[in-house]
Amino acid sequence: MSPTRTPEDPDLLWNVLTLLVWLGIGGVILLVGVIYVNPNTPVNPFPPHPLPTLLSLPTLDGEGGLPTISPTQTVPEISPTPLPSTTPTPEPTFILATPLPEALNPTGTPTPPFWYAFGVQGKPNAVSAALYHPERTCDWMGVAGRVFDIQGRPAIGIRVLLRGYLGGKSVNLLSLTGTASLYGPSGYEFTLADAPIASRGTLYIQLLDQADLPLSPQVAFDTFAECEKNLILIDFKQVR
């Protein structure tokens, strides 16, 4: 008879398997450690990409400032060319009728503001209306005068405006030079009241063109309660 075989010890098999597992774990730990220390090792299945080449920057100067760059071309400086100035042409002043010769040559005309063609000649003068109208004593008060061109000749056809307040009433009157020839060929006249009334600077007179644009500044004047001062004379003269 052949001898009887005894079954192998099962613990030995498990011990061998356990040893193999621990050896595998140790090998894995060792492999991970090698890859961690040197990622470029040939045993690394996923090596890292190579680092890019560093860019070489210019060296700073000794004072720590940026390098000086010298320009290769200088831009010429351009001076602006001044534009030619234009001088406005003044509008002409029209006088409607041919002036007539004047016996007296008026003098002493003050210079008005530069934008007016006419200025008042002398100061408003209060006289007795009886010098021109003997019948006008104390039952009349008014304003009259003359207008002359730049050569001292009568200027006819110019509108004369009289505005303001007198005795608590509004005054708004319009006349035309050449309509009161008693004072001269370019004379004008306004009737203000049927008796002398005193006022101080509440009335003014002004020359206008045919479009009602001012030809002279506004000239304020006073009136008086005396019968011998019931006519205010105001003359104008062209200055440009």
What pLDDT does 45 receive? 78
Contact 169, 197 (CB under 8 A): no
Q: Report percent pLDDT > 70 for the chain.
A: 70
Please tell me which residue, 69 or 158, carries the higher pLDDT value.
Answer: 158
The residue to which tokens 């720590």 are assigned: 64
For the ranges 40-44, 96-100, 113-117, 202-206, the maximum mean pLDDT occurs at 202-206
Strands 199-208 and 159-166: antiparallel
- Name beta bridge partners: 120: 236
Reported as a single tens digit per residue, the pLDDT across 185-208 is 999 999 999 999 999 999 999 999
Q: How far is CA 94 from CA 23, 62, 119, 232, in A?
A: 127, 83, 16, 27
Average pLDDT estimate for 75-89: 58
Residue 68 φ/ψ, nearest 5 degrees: -85, 130
* Mean pLDDT, the chain, whole residue set: 81
